[in-house]
C-alpha cells in the first residue's frame, strides 16, 4: 500500500494511531515499533542477526514462565517490525517519530536519524513535558492529531546530532536508560532497582510477583520501567538466593524473603 507517511511508535501509542489513520484523521500508516531501547545492551541491536540483543530479550521473557507463549509472541512481532522497518527505509516517504519522554521513544528517534536515508524527511512528534515526565502512551487520543500538527521536520544538523547519540549509546548502553528533567539521556546500572524490590518485599512479607513489581513501578519517578524487566530482576534475585519464590497453582508465584 502506498502511504503519504509512516508513523513510528511504540506499542503503547501505536494502536491508537492506527485507528486514527484508519479513520483518515491522520495520513499514512503506522509501524508498531516492537523494541524498547531504554533497557539492556544496544551494541548489535540494528544488525541483521542481533544475537546479544535477542539473548537479552530471551532472558527477560523466559523469567515469566507462567506465560510460556510470551517469548514466541515477542519474537514473531519483533521480526515483523524489523522487516517493516527495512521496507519503510526503502520507500523514502516521510517518517514521523512519535517520541516523548520515554527513553525508548527517544532512542527510536535517534536510530531513525542514523539509518533513514538522508533524502527521507524525518519529523519529530513531541510531547510537551510541562515539568513532568510524559510519554506517548499517556496521551489521550484527541490530543494526538494536535501533536501531529506540531510535528517538526528535522534539519540535517539535528539528524546528525541524534545519530551521534545513537552511536554513543550503542557503545555505552548496557543498563536502564531514562530522560532527566533537562531531556538528556542518562543510565542506571542494570541492577539498579534490585534494592527497591528487596526493600518492598521485606516490608510486605509476601506478595504475588505481580504485586511486588507493580509496587516498584508505581514509585519510580525517573525511568519508564516495564513489568517484564522487573520480573526478570526478581528472577535474578531468586536465583541468587536473596528472594524466595513459592509457586501457586493456577496463578503467578508469590515472592518472600528467605
| Residue 217, phi then psi, degrees to nearest 5 | -60, -40
Residues 214, 92, single domain; the answer is no
Domain that includes residue 30, residue range: 6-185
pLDDT number for residue 131: 57
Q: 167 with 239, same domain?
A: no
What does the pLDDT read at residue 181? Answer: 84
Using the 3D structure, point to which of 185, 217, 233 is the last residue of a domain. Answer: 185
130 assigned to some structural domain: yes
Q: Which of helix, strand or coil describes residue 40? A: coil
The reported pTM is 0.94
Q: What is the pLDDT of residue 142?
A: 93
- Listed residues 162, 185, 208: the one ending a domain: 185
C-alpha–C-alpha distance, residues 78 and 61, integer Å: 13
Strands across the sheet containing 6-9: 29-32, 6-9, 95-98, 122-125, 152-153
CB distance 97 to 88 below 8 Å: no
**Same-domain status, 13 and 30:** yes
Query: How many domains, the chain?
Result: 2
Evaluate whether residue 164 is within a structural domain: yes
- Which three cell numbers mark 172? 555505552
CA atoms of 38 and 116, how far apart (whole Å): 20
Task: List, for the chain, all residue ranges whose pLDDT scores fall below the cut of 50.
Answer: 1-2
Q: What are phi and psi of 183, to 5 degrees?
A: 80, 20
Same domain, 164 and 202: no
Note whether 28 and 153 are same-domain residues: yes
Residues 178 and 218 occupy one common structural domain = no
Q: In the prediction, which pLDDT does 2 show?
A: 45
Same domain, 75 and 181: yes
pLDDT, position 134: 75
Q: Are 168 and 199 members of one domain?
A: no
Residues 73, 103, single domain; the answer is yes
Amino acid at each position: 500500500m502506498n502511504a503519504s507517511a509512516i508513523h513510528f511508535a511504540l506499542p503503547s501509542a501505536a494502536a491508537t494511531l492506527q485507528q486514527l489513520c484508519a479513520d483518515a484523521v491522520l495520513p499514512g500508516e503506522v509501524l508498531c515499533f516492537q523494541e524498547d531501547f531504554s533497557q539492556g545492551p544496544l551494541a548489535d541491536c540494528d544488525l541483521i542477526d542481533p544475537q546479544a540483543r535477542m539473548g537479552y530479550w530471551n532472558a527477560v521473557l523466559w523469567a515469566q514462565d507462567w506465560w510460556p507463549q510470551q517469548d514466541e509472541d515477542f519474537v514473531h512481532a519483533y521480526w515483523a517490525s524489523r522487516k517493516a522497518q527495512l521496507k519503510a527505509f526503502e520507500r523514502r516517504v516521510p517518517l514521523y517519530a512519535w517520541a516523548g519522554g520515554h527513553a525508548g521513544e527517544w532512542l527510536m528517534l535517534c536510530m531513525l536519524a542514523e539509518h533513514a536515508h538522508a533524502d527521507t524527511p524525518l519529523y519529530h512528534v513531541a510531547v510537551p513535558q510541562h515539568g513532568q515526565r510524559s510519554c506517548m502512551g499517556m496521551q489521550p487520543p484527541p490530543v494526538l492529531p494536535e501533536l501531529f500538527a506540531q510535528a517538526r521536520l528535522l534539519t540535517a544538523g539535528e539528524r546528525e546530532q541524534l545519530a551521534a547519540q545513537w552511536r554513543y549509546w550503542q557503545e555505552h548502553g548496557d543498563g536502564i536508560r531514562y530522560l532527566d528533567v533537562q531531556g538528556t539521556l542518562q543510565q542506571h546500572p542494570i541492577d539498579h532497582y534490585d534494592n527497591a524490590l528487596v526493600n518492598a518485599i521485606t516490608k510486605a512479607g509476601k506478595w504475588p510477583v505481580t504485586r511486588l513489581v507493580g509496587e516498584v513501578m508505581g514509585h519510580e519517578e525517573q525511568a519508564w520501567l516495564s513489568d517484564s524487566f522487573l520480573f526478570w530482576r526478581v528472577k535474578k534475585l531468586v536465583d541468587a538466593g536473596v528472594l524466595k519464590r513459592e509457586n501457586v497453582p493456577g496463578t503467578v508465584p508469590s515472592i518472600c524473603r528467605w
